[in-house]
A and B are shown apart, each in its own frame.
Chain A
């Protein structure tokens, strides 16, 4: 799976949009971009994933650049409960040996 690069930490004010960047310049055509988050002492929580097109769900939006070499996770109205480590992961679709390769992620801190 391709490697990802994320800033180690970010701050965001409560109520504002949090924009978390991720670089994945070696991504292959059949690799998805996944985002998970991990609130302190809990298991990782799935947020969103995409292949080429931008995606939106009730938690977040995922914007993938046209060349697919980077993406941005957007939390539209951050709350204190969004404080967590956010992981950007790329993985090949289709099953087989498909364990996720986590990096160190971005520690997002929402400030009151």
Chain B
């Protein structure tokens, strides 16, 4: 069964450093999402892509976060500089064009010290 891949699975970084996460959606899925999940809460959408275009980035803290999907396939989410409050699970999901269901990857757990 096809799955969303994410790497790394775990990342520890120091405050003010740059960090990047990678996501490879299910093959053929045009829509890709990045979510952030703080411990004890449900995931919150950061950004949504349709192919290489941003559909919704209204909740992305653009002063320090950036996301790209240059060829409309895999995607990178970057934080620079990282802050203590960025410690969370970062989840990627994808959806096929004619489908209604989003499928999630295993997530990247970030700890900022």
For the complex, give the distance between the alpha carbons of A32 and B31 in Å. Answer: 19
- CB of A97 within 8 A of CB of B107, answer no
Contact size range, B:
20 to 34
In which size bucket is the chain A interface? Answer: 20 to 34
List the A residue with the shortest CB-CB distance to B107: A43
Give the distance in Å from the alpha carbon of A93 to the alpha carbon of B48 in the complex. Answer: 16
Contact with A along B26-49 (1 / 0, CB 8 A): 000001010100001111110010
Whether the pair A97, B48 counts as a contact (CB closer than 8 A) is yes
Beta-carbon contact of B103 and A46 below 8 Å = yes
* Contact present for B44 and A102 (CB under 8 Å): yes
Which residues of chain B have C-beta atoms less than 8 A from A36's C-beta?
104
Taking a contact as CB atoms under 8 Å apart, the answer to whether B42 and A103 are in contact is yes
| Cross-chain contact A104 with B41 (CB below 8 angstroms) | yes
Closest to B91 in A: A43
> Hey, what's the 0/1 contact readout for A75-112 against B, CB within 8 Å counting as 1?
00000000000010000010111111111110000000
Q: Which residue of the partner chain, among A44, A101, A105, contacts B104 with CB atoms under 8 Å?
A: A44
Q: Is the CB of A93 within 8 A of B103?
A: no
Q: Which residue of A lies closest to B99 (CB)?
A: A95
8 cross-chain CB contacts under 8 A: A43-B106, A46-B104, A97-B55, A97-B56, A98-B48, A100-B43, A102-B43, A105-B42
Which A residues form the contact surface with B (CB < 8 A)? 32, 34, 36, 41-46, 49, 87, 93, 95-105
Hey, which bits of chain B sit against chain A, CB under 8 A?
A: 4, 31, 33, 35, 40-45, 48, 55-56, 91, 93, 100-107, 109
9 additional A-B residue pairs with CB within 8 Å, beyond A43-B105, A44-B91: A42-B106, A43-B104, A93-B100, A95-B31, A97-B48, A99-B48, A100-B102, A102-B44, A104-B41
